[in-house]
Amino acid sequence: MAFNGSPTIGRVSGIPIQLHWTFILLLIVSLISPIFFLYILLLFSFVTIHELAHSITAKRNNIPVKRIILYPLGGGSVIDVSKGTPELELKIALVGPLSNFFMGGLLGIGAILVPSGAAHIIFQLLFLVNILLGVLNIIPAFPLDGSRVLRSYLERKSDEHTATIKVARLSNMIAWTSMLLGILFLFIGSYTETYRVLLAFSFFIVAIYIYSGSQSEVYTSYINGVADKLRLSDVITDRYMRVSPKTRLERIYENLMRDHTRPILCKSGSRYLFIMNIPTNIIRIKRGELSKMRISDFGVELPSISSKASVREIMGEMELEGSPAIIILNRGRVAGLVLRDKLSYVIASHAGRLDHK
């Protein structure tokens, strides 16, 4: 399980692939019908290929890819686009829809070659689903690929938050239109009932996906604006315990009880480990078992960033890495830690002050 709450189901080219809880929920709901379940599995496959197209293109151009998170009708490739050029970012964005158009073309040929019957209907439906996914992702609606292009264009004439609000309004209009089309497909058309229900279901998923993505982008943009007003001194902490891999758990437990210092940092070689979930009552642990425990067994490797980085850059790096904390380095030495919990608290408190002004 990752820090973002999305379980990892596998890796392709070293890229972890995670399922968002909404996709898991959709799979469970789809069990009510074998046809719906098969449809969702196929949709899952197409979305995976779409996101892999983004991620593999990025990796081939030396852009770091941390993970892929799959949603019901799309996904998120966690890519460090700051390390690429605008032209490369556009290339990465477009290759996803192109993969859907390519698969749609193959399935369309299959629909033509296969004689009438159940197989023909399946090929035709999968052809439409892939074309729908490809078209959707070039539509300028969050969180689809086309929205990134439109927002980038709007930012030339305004700031990022204003551009985000404008794209979000357009996204909401598209979401409501998709919902209306889904309702119309339920009652209008000469297609079979199963065909109409599956198409309507697809439009409903599109509407929910776009609307939730739009709200998320507006919130993220707002939080980024709040982070831009913060200084490193507002979020950094120098109250943490430094230990070595050879430090005994008894000593750590004694220091925690005496100083109430919660963050524990362990340097193991060139790595910095954030010690989490250590036993809080070592008295009940048998001495033989205690001697086998190593402090590094409870550690999670932390990323690091320069003390010259802005709070927004720090927040972005933590999100990119899915990390509970980040090391702040000043001339190669540890200057302190930024904890995710403290960062969230500081941002929330500053956001509250801005809302009351």
Q: What pLDDT score was predicted for residue 2?
A: 45
* Residue 10 shares a structural domain with residue 133: yes
Domain containing residue 193: 159-228
* Residue 203 shares a structural domain with residue 275: no
What is the chain's length? 357
Residue 25: pLDDT over 70:
yes
Q: What pLDDT score was predicted for residue 31?
A: 80
* Residue 244 shares a structural domain with residue 224: no
* Residue 194 shares a structural domain with residue 236: no
Domain boundary among 228, 261, 282: 228
Answer for the pair 278, 249: CB distance below 8 angstroms, yes or no: yes
Tens digit of pLDDT for each residue in 241-261? Answer: 888 777 777 677 776 667 666
User: 3-state SS string over 194-256?
Assistant: HHHHHHHHHHHHHHHHHHHHHHHHHHHHHHHHHHHCCCHHHHCECCCEEECCCCCHHHHHHHH
Residue 313: Cβ within 10 Å count: 14
Q: What pLDDT score was predicted for residue 313?
A: 83
On whether residue 146 sits in a domain, the answer given is no
Q: What is the mean pLDDT of the chain?
A: 79
On whether residue 149 sits in a domain, the answer given is no
Tens digit of pLDDT for each residue in 260-318? Answer: 667 888 887 778 888 776 666 655 555 555 566 677 677 788 888 888 888 888 887 88
Domain boundary among 169, 194, 228: 228
* Residue 175 shares a structural domain with residue 187: yes
Tens digit of pLDDT for each residue in 323-336? Answer: 888 999 988 888 88
On whether residue 85 sits in a domain, the answer given is yes
Peptide bond into 143 cis (omega under 30): yes
* Residue 69 shares a structural domain with residue 15: yes
* Residue 222 shares a structural domain with residue 238: no
- The pTM of the full predicted model, rounded to 2 decimals, is 0.64
* Residue 243 shares a structural domain with residue 169: no
* Residue 106 shares a structural domain with residue 19: yes
* Residue 126 shares a structural domain with residue 180: no
Residue 1: pLDDT over 50:
no
Tens digit of pLDDT for each residue in 169-222? Answer: 999 999 999 899 888 877 776 667 777 777 788 788 888 888 888 888 888 888
The dihedral of CA 303, 320, 219, 201: what is its sign?
negative
On whether residue 279 sits in a domain, the answer given is yes
Domain boundary among 207, 228, 249: 228
* Residue 179 shares a structural domain with residue 268: no
On whether residue 336 sits in a domain, the answer given is yes
Average pLDDT of 8-16? 79
Per the structure, the count of domains in the chain is 3
On whether residue 297 sits in a domain, the answer given is yes
On whether residue 151 sits in a domain, the answer given is no
Tens digit of pLDDT for each residue in 131-167? Answer: 878 887 888 888 887 887 788 778 778 787 888 899 9
Which CATH number belongs to the domain containing residue 308 in this structure? 3.10.580.10
* Residue 133 shares a structural domain with residue 5: yes
On whether residue 256 sits in a domain, the answer given is yes
Work out the angle between the directed axes of helices 193-228 and 34-60 (0-180°, nearest 10).
Answer: 40
